[in-house]
Amino acid sequence: TMSSTADDNDDNGEDRAVLVQFVSETGEEAGPPLQALLGSTVADLKATLDAQLIVQSGDYDDQVIYKFFVDEAEVATSLAVAVDCGQVNERLLRIVYQPQALFRVRPVTRCTSSLPGHSEAVLSAAFSPDSRNLASGSGDAAVRFWDLSTETPLHECRGHKHWVLCIAWSPDGRRLASACKRGQICLWCPDTGKQIGRPLARHTQWVTSLAWRPLHLDSECRLLASASKDCTVILWDTIVGQVSRVISGHEQAVTQVRWGGTDLLYTGSRDRTVRVWRADDGALCRTLQQHAHWVNTLALSTDYAMRLGANEPGKPAPEIGAPRTELCERARRVYEAARRDQPERLVSGSDDFTLTLWTPETDKRPVARLTGHLQLVNDVRFSPDGRLLASASFDKSVRLWDGRTGKFLATLLGHVGRVYQVAWSADSRLLVSSSADSTLKLWDIGAAGGKNRLKPVNDLPGHADEVYAVDWSPDGQKVASGGKDRELKLWRN
């Protein structure tokens, strides 16, 4: 409700008019300054902003929900509460607006099934990008597929000779790659449970991480990158079943590899460096040096979008027989929407208790150094909209940071053992963390309201031993977790 007839002499703070300027997150102004009532609620501010956007660009999306921030403080109820009323008269208030996800993921509260089947600890679990399938790798050298509609085992795939350390779904969801401690990589078909081709063996030591080429760069999902303890990264041509390129250069074990959206490979290693490589010719672009100890984990701001592939969040998945070009086009749209015309951000978590934020496509120097953890950082994830960053550490806490600047936001305390992994829900409002104390905890970030120490919304106990892996399905319906007690648990609302 734009009020141009505000009465400036009114003593009641709520009715005073103030000059506001809507600014987007990237700093662009939405239009000229406007007058608004000091008592405006979030709905009033949204209406004002929509009106301005119609005038400026001619179209607006009625459905978008916004979060408004004044001077880093969130406007939770009304503008008057968020702003210091005394100093308002002279200033122009800059209100930053952030569009939020439209759909809401409901918090998970109960364990709907415990799926036994593995005879050794479950080491990794992952949902497919279209949320139709669930796969898990375990210490008994088997990969299992699970039927999500009946919550029962579907296929058991034996082909590895040692613990299955990592699994990765191809971005189109048609294949699963799994890697074992002997350095072998096998490809599986989720529908039949059969192995595709022969095992890919070239690594001399165990594989630490797998990364598929994003769908918008490669519509047939041909290339797969694997990082190993033998200090090399191998790019495999999965359709032919051969090595495409061997990238060596690290001096110690490579712990993580990520495939960026502009065909750059990011690798983190125990030699304390993060290196940026060009995927087409394997040349080293940059070496990012900052850490003082092993780099354990990497995360990209567009990770979630590239994981989704052609599945747009909140919209129905593409049909199973859709042509590749259409999938490629949809994947490109999802990627561009996640990137929002800014360079990709990479964050690396290390044994030296810190994280570092980089923009590896452009700069060799870090954007920010994120300190605060009291023990090594084990897992880092960007939220699906790229605005927040969560880091899990062995000091029993999870910390939240701003995804663009690296500013510390909150500590999530509640676990009594090391926190191993975190997973975000698709709308970036909920976070689930798994820990060595055999519980999972659910945190509500959307309702945090600026507090810097948060308690879990929900405790999800039930596992009998340490929980090694956790994943939230991209459609937001289920959470899967597995650990040392050999059972995979599914959690729903």
Q: How far is the CB of 350 from other proteins (least distance, A)?
A: 12
Is 79 or 210 the residue whose CB approaches other proteins more closely? 210
Distance CA 20, CA 38 (A): 10
Q: CB 316 → other proteins: shortest distance, Å? A: 34
Tell me how far, at minimum, the Cβ of 229 lies from other proteins, in Å: 8
Q: Are 125 and 469 in contact (CB under 8 A)?
A: yes
Q: Where are the beta strands (DSSP E) in 290-417?
A: 295-300, 346-350, 355-358, 368-370, 377-382, 388-393, 397-402, 408-413
Q: Closer to other proteins by CB, 385 or 437: give it.
A: 437
CB of 374 to other proteins, least distance (A): 10
Nearer Cβ to other proteins (201/322): 201
Q: Among 361, 433, 352, which residue's Cα sits nearest to residue 391? A: 433
* Interface with other proteins (CB under 8 A): 120-121, 123-124, 138-141, 161-163, 165-166, 181, 206, 208-209, 229, 253, 255, 296-297, 378-379, 420, 468-469
Q: Kind of pairing, strands 264-269 and 419-424?
A: unpaired
Closest to other proteins by CB, 161 vs 198, is: 161
Q: Minimum Å distance from CB 276 to other proteins?
A: 22
**CB of 162 vs other proteins, minimal distance in Å:** 6
d(CA 212, CA 235): 9
Q: Which is it for the CA torsion 55, 59, 65, 70, positive or negative?
A: negative
**Which tokens go with 408?**
């510390």
Question: How far is residue 170 from each of residues 128, 134, 300, 359, 422, measured CA to CA in Å?
Answer: 8, 13, 17, 25, 21
Task: Provide, rounded to whole angstroms, the least separation between the CB of residue 161 and other proteins.
Answer: 6
Element (H, E) at 267: strand 264-269
Residue closer to other proteins, measured from CB, 469 or 479: 469
Would you say 20 or 141 has its CB closer to other proteins? 141
Q: How far apart are CA 101 and CA 425, in angstroms?
A: 11
Q: How far is the CB of 7 from other proteins (least distance, A)?
A: 50
Considering the complex, state which of residue 164 and residue 431 has its C-beta at the smaller distance from other proteins.
Answer: 164
**CA gap 154, 144 in Å, rounded:** 7
- Contact indicator for 135, 143 with CB cutoff of 8 Å: yes
In the sheet with 430-435, reading across from the earlier edge strand, the strands are: 419-424, 430-435, 440-444, 458-460
Of 66 and 212, the one with the shorter C-beta distance to other proteins is 212
